[in-house]
Amino acid sequence: MENKKPSEVDGIDDTTNKLVQADNQILVTQSGNVWLRFYPLPKLPGESIRSVLLRCMLSQLGLFSVLILWSTVWVFVIQTFEGPNEIKVSRTFEDEQNQIVIELATELRQIEPLSPKWKHAIEKRINDEMFLTMQAVSQGARIHPGQYWDLSGTFLFVVYVMTALGFGAPVPQTLWGRSAALIYAIFAIPTHIYLMLNTSMCFVVQVERYMARLRSKLRDKRPFVLGKTPVQNGSGACRSMPLAAALYYTTGVAAFGFARGNTYADALMFPIEFTTSGGLDQVNGHVRILYAFYVEGAMVLLSCGLATLRRHSGAALTCMTEKYRLFNGGY
């Protein structure tokens, strides 16, 4: 059986990966370089309103608008349930603590000092305090109530849910709050992933086209696309993504670490500070909002990396397998 290149067969375009066999069977593997339109095309004559609305909603701009509206609504819904509960649990914890202190002081007045009963009463109240503290923490009590589930904290939580990260995010304590988070996630997570896939592919292709035109105008002898083999082109594109990720993380270190007066160690580990155990309640509201946008930007960068890998995976994989001799040709 003889294999031919796409350029050797009439009617076959080189923009997709195809394998043409001698028995007139053509196996076509599409590259998948398609994406939703950023905004819908104008209305056609005789087109129904339903069709127009559907096209508008299924464009990138439409999905983006729907996702923003959906997220905004559920930020207020979740905060409505979790904010008052956080304050209520914390105040109840403080009242019970004060009651333990009053009971201990009253009992010690009725007991002879330094007697065995004196020691037993103190140990009993210490155990009660430990149990009360553990119970209050499990229910979401905080030293400074209202810090986690204010609007900025809820917005950061919604972004964590939407991006499917959940790294160190606070957990809703009420049944209604958890139900609201679940309902929000059912629509937000797949919509966000689908939007990121389309937006990243559109962005990567447009950037590559722009770089090709720019280098062509500068009369570079080795432009980004023309004049290079697919292996060289794919290797260069895939090599740029780790550099972009390192630059983006360095920007986060400078913005959320050094700019806020943190030490070198704390600045390098700045994502830890935006977790429940890392001191999220001590972070200002505007910083939380900026960090939420930073997390979203990281997801966009990750999507662009995956889109680049999809476009050049064939060339990059071929280069890697030939260089490191990973596979054994047993056929």
Q: What is the pLDDT of residue 38?
A: 80
Strands 17-21 and 26-29: antiparallel
pLDDT digits over 153-169, tens only? 899 999 999 998 877 77
| Alpha carbon distance 311, 308 (integer Å) | 5
| Alpha carbon distance 185, 54 (integer Å) | 22
The widest CA-to-CA distance across the chain, in whole angstroms, is: 105
| Alpha carbon distance 293, 301 (integer Å) | 12
Q: What is the pLDDT of residue 125?
A: 81
Domains and CATH numbers, the chain: 1-30 (no CATH), 56-85+148-324 (1.10.287.70)
Where are any strands of DSSP class E within 265-322?
Answer: none
Is residue 251 within 8 A of residue 117, CB to CB? The reply is no
SS3 state at 20: strand
Dihedrals φ, ψ of 17, to 5°?
-85, 120
Is residue 149 within 8 A of residue 82, CB to CB? The reply is yes
Dig out the tokens for 261 from the structure: 């007066």
Is residue 188 within 8 A of residue 122, CB to CB? The reply is no
Helices (H), 110-229: 116-138, 151-162, 175-217
Q: What is the pLDDT of residue 11?
A: 41
Instruction: Work out the number of other CB atoms within 10 angstroms of the CB of residue 200.
Output: 22
| Alpha carbon distance 101, 45 (integer Å) | 79
Where are any strands of DSSP class E within 46-91?
Answer: none
Q: What is the pLDDT of residue 290?
A: 94
Residue 240: in which H helix or E strand, if any? helix 230-256
Q: What is the pLDDT of residue 161?
A: 93
12: phi > 0 → left, psi -120 to 50 → alpha, else beta; which?
A: beta
Q: What is the pLDDT of residue 320?
A: 66
CA 135 to chain centre: 31
> What is the separation, in whole angstroms, between the first and last Cα of the chain?
13
Q: Evaluate the CA torsion angle 61, 64, 68, 70 in order and state its sign.
A: positive
| Alpha carbon distance 51, 44 (integer Å) | 10
The tens place of each residue's pLDDT in the chain, 331 residues long, gives 444 444 444 443 444 444 444 344 444 444 456 777 887 778 778 878 888 888 888 888 889 999 999 999 999 999 999 988 888 887 887 788 788 888 878 877 777 777 777 778 778 888 887 877 777 776 666 666 657 788 998 999 999 999 988 777 788 888 999 999 999 999 999 999 999 988 888 888 888 888 777 777 775 555 444 445 444 455 556 677 788 889 999 999 999 989 888 888 888 999 988 888 787 878 888 999 999 999 999 999 998 888 887 777 665 566 666 777 766 654 4
Q: What is the pLDDT of residue 237?
A: 60
CA separation, residue 126 to residues 13, 119, 185 (Å): 78, 11, 42
| Alpha carbon distance 115, 175 (integer Å) | 47
